Structure 1
Amino acid sequence: MSCPTIQAETLELLEWPRLCQHLATFAATKLGKIAAQCLPLPQRQSDSETLLAQTLEAYALEAKLGQLPFEGIQDIGEALAWAGRGGILKGNNLLYIATTLAAMRHIRRIIDAQEEETVAHLLTLVADLRTYPELERQIHHCIDDRGNVTDRASETLGQIRVKLKALRDDIYQTLQRLMQRQGNAIQEQVITQREGRFVIPVKASHKESIPGIVHDASSSGATLYIEPKAVLDRNNRLRQLQRQEQAEEERICQQLSAAVAEVQEDLEQLLAIATALDLAIARARYSYWIQGNVPRFIDPAQDTITLRQLRHPLLEWQHRQEQGSPTIPIDLHIQPHIRVVAITGPNTGGKTVTLKTLGLTVLMAKIGLFIPAREPVELPWVNAVLADIGDEQSIQQSLSTFSGHIRRIGRILTALDQLNHDSNNSSLVSSLVLLDEVGAGTDPSEGSALAIALLKTLADRAHLTIATTHFGELKALKYGDDRFENASVEFNEVTLSPTYRLLWGIPGRSNALAIAQRLGLDPSIVAAAQHHLTPGATTEVNTVIAGLEAQRRRQENKAQEAAQVLAQAEQLHREVSQKADRLKIWEQDLKHQQEKAIQTTLIQAKTDIAQVIRTLQQGTPTAQKAHKATADLDQLASKHLPSTASKANPKASMPKGFKPQVGDRVRVTNLGQVAEVITPPDASGELSVRFGLMKMTVSLKDIESLQGEKALMPEVKPKLDPKNPPATPPASPSSQPAIRTSHNTLDLRGSRVADAEIELDRAIAQADGPLWVIHGHGTGKLRRGIQEFLKQHPQVDRFEPADNHDGGTGVTIVHPK
């Protein structure tokens, strides 16, 4: 990147390091946390697209399987470098290498087990991974779980340790017998060590009773630690064996270190792959936490930048993690011909936050993060983000402040020239320039003229410039150059406070007098200032702006009313469809009951006739009359029971419906979501659909067309006698599976454990069925705290993780008693 100084300044001004720290909290390893805090910005769009693809695959993989097992992966970089220089690694360093190899092998097997098209980029990432299972087994054979060299590491070491144990036992027994014989001289019945030699505590007044070498004394001088002559030779042999043991352990560690050094490059590559995988998982977890959507890079010269309901990521963290104020989203729709957007409006209205939100959004997309905005998320990939954003809390407007801004703007122009010069293309290099209060800090007339000249220059040198200003002259640039656009932050004149909403196409008013009045300035002073305002063009422009703002509000109100009517119509349609389904079920139940009553009556009638026939056979042979009566009853049965043709051809009575095809958009009734069909129905009537980033398998009976038509179920040939189908009683409401709705879903992501327990206890008390609790993955602290609370809750029968398509281990389903 050319001009790294202004780029580094821009990252600091946008508070990019703070966002990287937030991202690091979602990493699973120390390597990932360190890498997340100092992420390099990709220099090519293809690199960003690869990172986004990795994030998307990691997102889907953890949604399906839960958190990947990164336990065991350690930061072994320094150990590998030491081994490469011929150093001898200690047992714990060798153990960390073995656990890292095992963990990476396990993760690769998980990725290899997935369908190739769902993890294509992750497979590419681990394609060159070598985990050396033989080296791992060799280390585990020689090093135990505490990092110590094992007896089985070599036959020599085993023999030395056997001798050491026997000699220690002999010394202990000798000293214990000595202490028993000289009990009066012993201060305490304890055998200890000094300088690696076994000694016993002897009273200073009785030191002549036990001849030997004094190695130490207590602080009071009352106790002497003496090595008796009886164990001098054995202590000497013990020290010799200990040195032999240490030498053999070093030899074994040296052999293992040499084996590590032979594959140092491959292990360093393994460490880099582990870090890249952890970063992909961290990006996926952060994207899930922030409720982001996948961005699509567009050509800024041909496509519109579309960012709807965009939230500032740092303000969102402050709101959800630090109990800050709710984040107010903004909408950005910038046409391809626009090069400069001038944002006007009152102070404290959110202009600077808008600049920072856009800058952070572009950087997030570059490193492969999802964007906290509604779909579709369409923005350009830029080579550089360059900003001059002052401290919005500063009240200093001195010459030094002005000169500081001018010097930074000069570096921005130099960086743009360098970028365009380094590019091989004839067109401009894609760049984003963010200027806060351009031209401020000096005489208004000169500052306005300077701001106009600067923005016109940037329109020629940068692809997109967003500038905030109070100068009214900048509002008129739009009407003389179609590359310019106006935007403003909305101000509520009723409450005399900003709404922080961004309005496009309408310049804003500073509303300085209204804000001064809201902040408590004497109303008489505000009135006097209003009197001194210069009448004419400014007043007329403000009047026009006020009219445009009122018109926009009326249009927005009408759009909201239309949306409410549409929602009511959809709700009514759902209710009518549900009532129609219940009516069909009721009709089928009634029909079954009628058929059963008729069959019972016929059976009773035929029984009576059979009795009559038996009676006639015993007397006068007039059974012909009885047979005639039986024929009449058979005719009655055929009139009231379903016809044989109807039973033989069930398709004749099958209700009309539709057959979903791949690519069709359908409504999943039990979720209330519109989804896209991605696989055709199988023989059991199940198919796969996708909505948003999630895929799931549903049954044909759970979907309908956007016109409300039910799906046709596949024909299933009955195995039982078609003439005597078993009657199937309707399913009771209690046997139906529970359906997740907004009423039985509790989102606790970002909450503290103590606060989450209060919300969860209240939700359990009000629940009348299963409760879906969303806690996310994150560090796992919130999930563990919630599950510990559920284990001890007297009103909870059981709890379990949700299915993978419903959130997996990031969601817990609670079954109250």
Structure 2
Amino acid sequence: MNEQLKNISHNSIGEAFHESLELLEWPRLCAHLATFASTPQGEIQCKNLLIPQHVSITRRYLDETLEIGALDELIEGGISFYGIYDLNNILRICEKGGVVSGEDLLKVASTLRATRQLRRQIDDPEVRPSLSLLLENLSTLPELEKLLQFGLEEGGRVADRASQKLTMTRRQLEDLRKERKEKLLDLLRKNNSIIQDTIISERFGRPVLALKLGATDQIAGIIHDTSSSGNTIFVEPQSVISLGNRISQVESVAFQEEQRLLALWSKEVGKNFLKLDYLSGVILKLDLALSRARYGSWLGGVPPSIKDDQDNSFSIQNFRHPLLLWQQVYEGGDKVVPISFEIDSTLRVVAITGPNTGGKTAALKSFGLAILMTRFGLLLPCIGTPSIPWCNQVLADIGDEQSLQQNLSTFSGHLVRISKILDDIATLPGPAIVLLDEIGAGTDPTEGTSIAIALLKVLADRARLTIATTHFGELKALKYNDPRFENASVAFDSETTQPTYNLQWGIPGRSNALAIASRLGLDQLVIDNAQKLIGSKGINDVNEVIKGLEKERERQQVAAEDAARLLARTELLHEELLGNWKKQQKKSDDFQERGRHKLEMSIREGQKEVRQLIHRLRDAGANGEIARTTGKRLRELQSKNHPKHMKKNVQIWFPKKGDRVRLIALGKAGEIIHISDDGLQLTVICGVFRSTVDLSDVESIDGLKPTIPKPEVHLKIKSSARKGAVLRNKQNTLDVRGLRVHEAEAVIDEKIRNVDGPIWIIHGIGTGKLKRGLRVWLETLSYVERVEDASQSEGGAGCSVIWLR
């Protein structure tokens, strides 16, 4: 069989890296992954994973994970490995000329058949290029499968049809056994009085009759056994001994023929060793890919974006520690608090400070496992699209166990491990991630601080990124002298004196030892004296500064959230106002149309009456009285429809400052507090609502309209969320793969309100349900102008671009 994961060079992994895997509890994660394996060999391989040492292998693993995961969801009941067996030992025996059993040969045939079916499901170069490439040189040997299936029956018995000699031999054997049985039954009938049991028994492969004690002289034969009581004698009658001997001879011939056939078939398996070994390797890789996909689905994971350039930033949003998540689900553990990592490309060292039990070590392990999971093509339990630069090594020094075998103290044990880390960085290629827990601890604080500072400065030059936890206050100041350093801290609730396990970036942690000591019941006098000593050394001032920074950050966060909510309400109000204005505009147009129609009817009726009057005047019988009355009526019509007369009936109204007016769109009254120079813009205050509107958007309290021409209304809320970048970047790109439609809607809606210009939404292709659901929802939003597929270089059908109005 192929060497396990032969593309991985085990020699390129240093001793410190092996120890780091144990410290980060990578074997525990592998054990969890193994529970998702479909075959015994896959389960064993999952528990002994080796980490890929090249980015191309990692990318291939991730592609395989995504492709087989998508297919697993499409197939009813998921992808099945039923009928596939571990052929490793069978192939080794056959390769060396050995003979395996019929049952083992049936396992070979079953595996060939199941693999052929699996290949039919998977092989699709356009949809699943990585998996199809894996199957490219796979041979399922249909002729060998047919040979084995024809020659073997269920259970591994060689079939009669396997050879003509075997057919004849077994037929002869059946006839001899039948003849012997008939003779024995005849003896039972004739000697019923001396027979202890009418059942034909067997002793040492020979048929015997159970005779009563003292009756052996009545039936000649060979005594093979007696009962435990001694009252029954088991005798093989003389008359069937020769038949038994012949049967043994024929059985021997049949056995030799069976062995010859098994040897022949085993030889055929041995001839195809390389193909079968390659097939077993492909099955193992498929099982590993499916295990990764199903484990990632259980975690609710998303695929990371792996960057070739080591100088890229690290971005992981709301990462949940996979081991703690397992513990939460299966062992009744606490709810996992997600941690986010946003580490700029210019940073080389991050110092995490904060109280004990605050989650510093969990944050270290979370980051380390995120890197390892990415390298093995696993999905990460976080949100969005995590961006992780390729790193060749993850080196850790976590824990304070003493080395009793080497007679080393805690501090000495740390130094030995750190020395190995520095050796690995110096001797092995590629960028390294270094994770140090309680750096410099276990010795005199002054010396420990000096060693920690010197070590971090060396690692800033040699490692891609170092994350260290510490209680030393001096390390918090490094960022102010070197831009490659940054501070972070685990949050602590001073009110409840409990850690929140949230990671805060840019703010160092303050000491909470006294608060914790008080909560644990330490004598108050001791705490008071300690507080005085802290104040005398100026430490309390530093803590107060840090506390102030934390509160300021909280205020900024609250202000930012309030601003976002206000912006959302403003935009909703804008949409409501615009909608009401359009309705009012339509009502006004309808009213004008009715007035115009009424005027036209009036004109037509007047014209008709004038024609009738003219006709009367032209009539031959018209007299003076008719002319007088007709002339009077004409003057009345002229006066009624004259423009001067019509103008007198129109009330002229111009609003002025201080007047009460009604906002047509809202249907509410307000007071004019300002009028623009051209008189076309009014500032109106209505309760707590203050707005600047066009003159045409108001009317007097008694319903009078302004008589000046009504300009076109443009209601517009100025917002940075409607200005627009047209280039795709991190801020205007959102990955919603793995989310349900309603979950993605909430995330996208929040993004729309806080992003300039068009937005790229990565939803993937998959079944298309997510894309269709989002497109239907986006069509209902009035502030969305259009939605279209991204260009091929930006994701094609797997990515949608939202253009806002």
TM-score, with length taken from structure 2: 0.71
Corresponding residue for residue 5 of structure 1 = 15
Contact 1:131/1:270 (CA < 8 Å) preserved in 2? yes
CA distance in structure 2 between the partners assigned to 1:258 and 1:573 by the alignment: 82
Q: Pick one of 37, 48, 69 that aligns with 2:47.
A: 37
Corresponding residue for residue 275 of structure 2 = 266
Please state how far the C-alpha of 1:292 moved relative to its aligned partner: 0.7
CA distance in structure 1 between the partners assigned to 2:516 and 2:52 by the alignment: 43
1:90 alignment partner AA = S
Corresponding residue for residue 480 of structure 2 = 479
CA distance in structure 2 between the partners assigned to 1:393 and 1:519 by the alignment: 27
Distance 1:568 1:137, change over 3 A: farther
Corresponding residue for residue 554 of structure 1 = 555
Please state how far the C-alpha of 1:32 moved relative to its aligned partner: 1.0
Please state how far the C-alpha of 1:706 moved relative to its aligned partner: 5.1
CA distance in structure 1 between the partners assigned to 2:135 and 2:242 by the alignment: 59
1:91 alignment partner AA = G
Contact 2:318/2:383 (CA < 8 Å) preserved in 1? yes
Q: Secondary structure at the match of 1:187?
A: strand
> Structure 1, unaligned stretches of length 5 or more?
424-428, 580-662, 677-688, 713-804, 806-817
Q: Secondary structure at the match of 2:198?
A: coil
Corresponding residue for residue 515 of structure 2 = 514
2:170 alignment partner AA = R
1:354 and 2:363 correspond: yes
Distance 1:196 1:569, change over 3 A: farther
Q: Pick one of 62, 68, 80 that aligns with 1:58.
A: 68
- After superposition, what is the alpha-carbon deviation per residue over 1:514-535, rounded to whole angstroms, capped at 9, x for unaligned? 1111222223322222122252
2:495 alignment partner AA = V
Corresponding residue for residue 92 of structure 1 = 103
Q: Pick one of 296, 316, 331 that aligns with 2:305.
A: 296
In the TM superposition, 1:770-789 aligns within 5 A as none
- After superposition, what is the alpha-carbon deviation per residue over 1:678-714, rounded to whole angstroms, capped at 9, x for unaligned? xxxxxxxxxxx972574415497665165456989xx
Corresponding residue for residue 495 of structure 1 = 496
Corresponding residue for residue 763 of structure 2 = 691
Contact 1:2/1:418 (CA < 8 Å) preserved in 2? no
Q: Secondary structure at the match of 2:111?
A: helix
CA distance in structure 2 between the partners assigned to 1:557 and 1:8 by the alignment: 45
1:370 alignment partner AA = L
- After superposition, what is the alpha-carbon deviation per residue over 1:712-758, rounded to whole angstroms, capped at 9, x for unaligned? 9xxxxxxxxxxxxxxxxxxxxxxxxxxxxxxxxxxxxxxxxxxxxxx
How many residue pairs get aligned? The number is 607
CA distance in structure 2 between the partners assigned to 1:543 and 1:431 by the alignment: 36
Corresponding residue for residue 258 of structure 2 = 249
Please state how far the C-alpha of 1:144 moved relative to its aligned partner: 1.3
CA distance in structure 2 between the partners assigned to 1:492 and 1:158 by the alignment: 85
Corresponding residue for residue 620 of structure 1 = none
Corresponding residue for residue 452 of structure 2 = 451
Contact 2:310/2:390 (CA < 8 Å) preserved in 1? no
1:75 alignment partner AA = D
Contact 1:293/1:375 (CA < 8 Å) preserved in 2? yes
CA distance in structure 2 between the partners assigned to 1:104 and 1:310 by the alignment: 37
Q: Secondary structure at the match of 2:209?
A: strand
- After superposition, what is the alpha-carbon deviation per residue over 1:620-642, rounded to whole angstroms, capped at 9, x for unaligned? xxxxxxxxxxxxxxxxxxxxxxx
Distance 1:446 1:672, change over 3 A: closer
Please state how far the C-alpha of 1:537 moved relative to its aligned partner: 3.7
2:339 alignment partner AA = I
Please state how far the C-alpha of 1:270 moved relative to its aligned partner: 0.2
- After superposition, what is the alpha-carbon deviation per residue over 1:374-427, rounded to whole angstroms, capped at 9, x for unaligned? 112011221111111015999xxx9711111111111111111102xxx4xxxx
1:42 alignment partner AA = P
CA distance in structure 1 between the partners assigned to 2:470 and 2:280 by the alignment: 49
Distance 1:196 1:669, change over 3 A: closer
Q: Secondary structure at the match of 2:22?
A: helix
Please state how far the C-alpha of 1:505 moved relative to its aligned partner: 0.7
Distance 1:511 1:225, change over 3 A: same
Contact 1:340/1:483 (CA < 8 Å) preserved in 2? yes
- After superposition, what is the alpha-carbon deviation per residue over 1:330-371, rounded to whole angstroms, capped at 9, x for unaligned? 111111111111100000000001111111110000010011
Corresponding residue for residue 128 of structure 2 = 119
Q: Pick one of 107, 116, 125 that aligns with 1:105.
A: 116
Contact 1:214/1:227 (CA < 8 Å) preserved in 2? yes
- After superposition, what is the alpha-carbon deviation per residue over 1:424-451, rounded to whole angstroms, capped at 9, x for unaligned? xxxxx21001110010000111111111
- After superposition, what is the alpha-carbon deviation per residue over 1:161-194, rounded to whole angstroms, capped at 9, x for unaligned? 1111121121112111211222222221111222
CA distance in structure 1 between the partners assigned to 2:321 and 2:575 by the alignment: 36
Corresponding residue for residue 77 of structure 1 = 88
Distance 1:576 1:81, change over 3 A: farther
Contact 2:402/2:413 (CA < 8 Å) preserved in 1? no
1:541 alignment partner AA = V
CA distance in structure 2 between the partners assigned to 1:287 and 1:280 by the alignment: 10
CA distance in structure 1 between the partners assigned to 2:136 and 2:186 by the alignment: 66
> Structure 2, unaligned stretches of length 5 or more?
1-10, 581-727, 749-760, 788-797, 799-805
Corresponding residue for residue 164 of structure 1 = 173
- After superposition, what is the alpha-carbon deviation per residue over 1:459-478, rounded to whole angstroms, capped at 9, x for unaligned? 11111111000001111111
1:306 and 2:293 correspond: no
- After superposition, what is the alpha-carbon deviation per residue over 1:70-109, rounded to whole angstroms, capped at 9, x for unaligned? 1011001110010010001100110000010011111111
2:111 alignment partner AA = T
CA distance in structure 2 between the partners assigned to 1:487 and 1:252 by the alignment: 72
Q: Pick one of 759, 779, 784 that aligns with 1:704.
A: 779
CA distance in structure 1 between the partners assigned to 2:198 and 2:490 by the alignment: 84
Distance 1:36 1:701, change over 3 A: closer
CA distance in structure 2 between the partners assigned to 1:270 and 1:311 by the alignment: 37
Highest Rg: 1 or 2?
A: 2
Contact 2:38/2:287 (CA < 8 Å) preserved in 1? yes
1:381 alignment partner AA = W
1:696 alignment partner AA = G
CA distance in structure 2 between the partners assigned to 1:246 and 1:573 by the alignment: 92
In the TM superposition, 1:635-650 aligns within 5 A as none
Distance 1:470 1:671, change over 3 A: closer
1:345 and 2:354 correspond: yes
CA distance in structure 2 between the partners assigned to 1:27 and 1:490 by the alignment: 39
CA distance in structure 1 between the partners assigned to 2:13 and 2:79 by the alignment: 40
2:49 alignment partner AA = L
Please state how far the C-alpha of 1:61 moved relative to its aligned partner: 1.0
In the TM superposition, 1:676-687 aligns within 5 A as none
TM-score, with length taken from structure 1: 0.70
Distance 1:190 1:561, change over 3 A: farther
Contact 2:402/2:408 (CA < 8 Å) preserved in 1? no
Corresponding residue for residue 22 of structure 1 = 32
Please state how far the C-alpha of 1:273 moved relative to its aligned partner: 0.1
Q: Secondary structure at the match of 1:533?
A: helix
- What is the root-mean-square deviation of aligned Cα atoms in Å? 3.2
Higher RCO, Cα 8 Å, sep 6+: 1
CA distance in structure 2 between the partners assigned to 1:335 and 1:508 by the alignment: 20
1:538 and 2:548 correspond: no
CA distance in structure 1 between the partners assigned to 2:50 and 2:733 by the alignment: 40
Distance 1:489 1:323, change over 3 A: same
CA distance in structure 1 between the partners assigned to 2:515 and 2:118 by the alignment: 61
Aligned-residue identity in percent: 45
1:187 and 2:196 correspond: yes
CA distance in structure 2 between the partners assigned to 1:255 and 1:690 by the alignment: 57
Distance 1:577 1:165, change over 3 A: farther
1:323 and 2:323 correspond: no
Contact 2:221/2:236 (CA < 8 Å) preserved in 1? yes
Contact 2:535/2:541 (CA < 8 Å) preserved in 1? no
User: Which range moved further: 697-706 or 383-392?
Assistant: 697-706
CA distance in structure 2 between the partners assigned to 1:266 and 1:218 by the alignment: 57
